[in-house]
Chains A and B, each alone.
Chain A
Amino acid sequence: MQVQSMFFKESASKKLNDAVLQKAMKKAKSKFVDGRAASVATIDNWEDIRTHAAALRDRVIANLDAYLIEFEKNAIRRGSVVHWAETAEEANAIIVEIARKNAVKTVTKSKSMVSEEISLNDALEAAGVKVLETDLGEYILQLAKEPPSHIVAPAVHKSKEQVAALFVAHHHKPLLTDISAMTREAREELRAHFLAADMGISGANFVIAETGTTLTVTNEGNADMVTTIPRIHCVITGIEKVIPTLEDFATLIRLLPRSAIGQSIANYLTLTTGVKQANEQEGPEQMHIVLVDAGRTKLLGDDMQSMLRCIRCGACMNHCPVYQNVGGHAYGWVYPGPMGSVLTPTYVGIENAGDLPNAATFCGECQVVCPVKIPLPDLMRKLREKQFDLHLRPFSERFAIQVWAFFVKRPVLYSFASRMGARLAAWMGGREKLIHKLPGIDGWTDGRDMPAPEGKTFKELYRKKYASRKTNP
């Protein structure tokens, strides 16, 4: 996917004025946030499970080469072909070549964010292969020709009226108003394609070193169709998705659906290992697994390494006050919210990520809800520092920080200046005690008033209180 993250500010302003989006985001927020809280509350040792999960992800990441080699060995032993791709282009070329070699004309696909990273659908279409997304959300977006705006609920930004209009345009059937009827119509449209497709493409939530298994988590059952019915199954996934054992999966699946959508379990957990056996009447004759780097190894040994723990639940964005207001498209690449503000600069380059590391209030909620305890605010803070060091921030910001640094290194001067500043701000606040316009940062006061301070600094008040305590013990 083409990176548009440098336009975050402009895009975010537009999204804040989009009435349909604002309504959709409000609805989603309450469902995701309340749903997760209720579901997590049913587990008495949630924190222990999180701690165990973070540690098991860290152990794999610290020995990623060894676990990938074990996974590859077992996958091959079970009849899969394992491919490695360093870049998006390589991954696309591998899959296009599999399609070409096997005369594949049609592909059904279950949701894969890695395939969004590399624009796999475009590459296949360019090679003359028809690709159909089968996750309902992804299918809607394919009809709308839009990228996903959420990693779990890709069409969260769409209203049912917009979906109904898309279905009329593409299915040529009467307009529907009921969500169940729309879902049934999509099911009926897609059924024939499931049965006829030459190749199925799926992502993988995890791949298991112990058994050479790839694994998808869905509610719809589409991944089961895609991995069972076509004669070729191709899995595309990131190299960081490997976990050692089935037991590790059992731990992670206690966290993933609860964090993502407040469900104790997803409806379908689909483990696929190898190809159709001689005694079977279903299953693919070929199973290909494409392990993609595309920027992931850059995080190893870097202060961003803990981001590789991510299990793609989306809880960080669901709980982010910035995401809740601007939606996913404003972030300009595949991964929105706090995880995107870390992944976009690290995968596609910090120079392309614009304001993303700054698109945070640092309320810390993302870290609190992260099932694998990724310190997202810390990572974003470090990215801000990197942007400053690389001279990627605007002159005005650099200048302001340098001025502040000058004062803060001189305590007497700093204390004098803050006393003056507090008094000036109190005067500016007037009787209402609200500042309507701050010269120099009027962008901030355009949308809100700043409460004016009382006129004295904390130090002044503290000194006064301390002095009075001394005299009246």
Chain B
Amino acid sequence: MSARENILARIRTNSGKQGATTEQELVAARAVITARTRGPLPTFARHEPIAHFIEECDRLKTTLAEVHSLQDVPAEIARYLLVENLEKKLVGWAEFSALNWTGARIEFINRAANANDLVGLTGCFCAIGETGTLLLLGALATPKVTALLPETHICVVKKSRIVPTMEDAFQLMRDEIGEPPRATFFVSGPSRTADIEQTIVIGAHGPYRVHVVLIP
């Protein structure tokens, strides 16, 4: 017998069940899965997702700016790069290629980031109010490394895409694209560690800075 059969058999025997897993038991498990029962939600999380998102970003040390339209994003990023004393060069997702970057005196390159790139620009599938979290779904046009390798991650978030809870984010994903793609990635603020003397240090292996630009 294979290890698989032995383990499954031991599970059954020790749980006091006879024979192999029955079709009925599998159907019952699948029914639990397709029911997708939600657990209890904290009261605060159910309302005002945008206000919570802004508040939680602040707690996570994610900086945030709001502009009137997608067209205003390059100017805001130029301001941010100047304040943070960062180079005016961005590697970003294709959805931002058509913006007027030269007008903002920023060099924009549409490709996946590598370890030498200092600033990465991404969008997100949606964001979560309860925890100030960004949900990124990896695909050809939306590579995950751009949010991971550069020291600074800038993310454009549509206010209309801020949902109250993670449960809502998963439901939106099922409704719009079906199953989770290979890389489904929740980001909540810059990377951090407290592994030396429990002292929190911002900037472990991922970005040192996460900056959100809110658009309508």
Interface residues of A, Cβ cutoff 8 Å to B:
24, 27-28, 31-32, 42-45, 48-49, 52-53, 56, 59, 62-70, 78, 84-86, 90, 134-137, 140, 153-156, 158-160, 163, 179-180, 182-184, 187, 190-191, 194-195, 209-211, 213, 219-222, 224-225, 227-229, 239, 244-251, 253-254, 261, 264-277, 279-283, 291, 293, 297-298, 300-302
Judge whether A282 and B131 touch: CB under 8 Å.
no
A-B contacts, 11 of them at CB < 8 A, read A59-B32, A67-B29, A78-B179, A84-B3, A191-B205, A224-B206, A281-B143, A282-B144, A282-B183, A300-B11, A302-B14
Judge whether A45 and B40 touch: CB under 8 Å.
yes
In chain B, positions 144-167 with a C-beta closer than 8 Å to chain A are 144-145, 148, 165-167
Give Cα distance in the complex from A28 to B199, angstroms: 10
Residues of A within 8 A of B182 (CB): 78, 272-277, 280, 283
- Residue in A closest to B16 when the chains form the complex, CB atoms: A301
Q: Does B82 contact A (CB under 8 A)?
A: no
Min C-beta distance of A269 to chain B, whole Å: 4
Residues of B within 8 A of A190 (CB): 205
Q: Does B124 contact A (CB under 8 A)?
A: no
Of B30, B115, B201, the most chain A CB neighbours within 10 A belong to B201
Known: A183-B196, A247-B36, A250-B39. 12 other contacts (CB 8 A): A24-B197, A44-B43, A86-B7, A137-B193, A140-B195, A155-B195, A191-B205, A228-B145, A245-B36, A265-B186, A275-B182, A280-B139
Residues of A within 8 A of B8 (CB): 65, 68-69
Give Cα distance in the complex from A250 to B33, angstroms: 14
Residues of B within 8 A of A269 (CB): 133, 185-186, 188
Neighbour of B133 across the interface among A84, A209, A265, A277, CB < 8 A: A265
**Given known A-B contacts A27-B198, A44-B43, A283-B183, A225 and B21 have beta carbons under 8 A apart:** no
**Given known A-B contacts A244-B33, A245-B33, A271-B180, A191 and B115 have beta carbons under 8 A apart:** yes
Judge whether A85 and B192 touch: CB under 8 Å.
no
Judge whether B204 and A222 touch: CB under 8 Å.
yes
Q: Does B190 contact A (CB under 8 A)?
A: yes
Q: How large is the interface on B (under 10, 10 to 19, 20 to 34, 35 or more residues)?
A: 35 or more
Neighbour of B148 across the interface among A24, A225, A291, CB < 8 A: A225
Judge whether B184 and A271 touch: CB under 8 Å.
yes
Min C-beta distance of B193 to chain A, whole Å: 5
Judge whether B166 and A253 touch: CB under 8 Å.
yes
Judge whether B206 and A267 touch: CB under 8 Å.
yes
Neighbour of B203 across the interface among A44, A183, A253, A264, CB < 8 A: A183
Neighbour of A219 across the interface among B30, B40, B192, B207, CB < 8 A: B192
Neighbour of A282 across the interface among B42, B138, B187, B207, CB < 8 A: B138
Judge whether A45 and B165 touch: CB under 8 Å.
no
Q: Does B18 contact A (CB under 8 A)?
A: no
Residues of B within 8 A of A84 (CB): 2-4, 7
Judge whether B204 and A65 touch: CB under 8 Å.
no
Q: Does B216 contact A (CB under 8 A)?
A: no
Judge whether A180 and B180 touch: CB under 8 Å.
no
Judge whether B204 and A221 touch: CB under 8 Å.
yes
Judge whether A219 and B191 touch: CB under 8 Å.
yes
Judge whether A49 and B39 touch: CB under 8 Å.
yes
Residues of A within 8 A of B186 (CB): 265, 268-271
Min C-beta distance of B12 to chain A, whole Å: 6
Residues of B within 8 A of A90 (CB): 3
Give Cα distance in the complex from A190 to B14, angstroms: 44
Q: Does B189 contact A (CB under 8 A)?
A: yes
A-B residue pairs, 5 tightest by C-beta = A221-B206, A251-B39, A220-B204, A137-B195, A269-B186
Give Cα distance in the complex from A298 to B36, angstroms: 30
Neighbour of A244 across the interface among B15, B32, B133, B191, CB < 8 A: B32
Judge whether B29 and A221 touch: CB under 8 Å.
no
Judge whether A179 and B133 touch: CB under 8 Å.
no
Residues of A within 8 A of B40 (CB): 45, 48-49, 52, 251
Min C-beta distance of B212 to chain A, whole Å: 14
- Residue in B closest to A32 when the chains form the complex, CB atoms: B198
Of A140, A180, A268, the most chain B CB neighbours within 10 A belong to A268
Neighbour of B192 across the interface among A27, A28, A43, A267, CB < 8 A: A267
Residues of B within 8 A of A302 (CB): 14
Q: Does B26 contact A (CB under 8 A)?
A: yes
Min C-beta distance of A55 to chain B, whole Å: 9
Give Cα distance in the complex from A344 to B23, angstroms: 35
Judge whether A268 and B179 touch: CB under 8 Å.
no
Min C-beta distance of B187 to chain A, whole Å: 6
Q: Does B68 contact A (CB under 8 A)?
A: no
Residues of B within 8 A of A136 (CB): 193, 195-196, 204
Judge whether A220 and B38 touch: CB under 8 Å.
no
Residues of B within 8 A of A264 (CB): 56, 59, 131
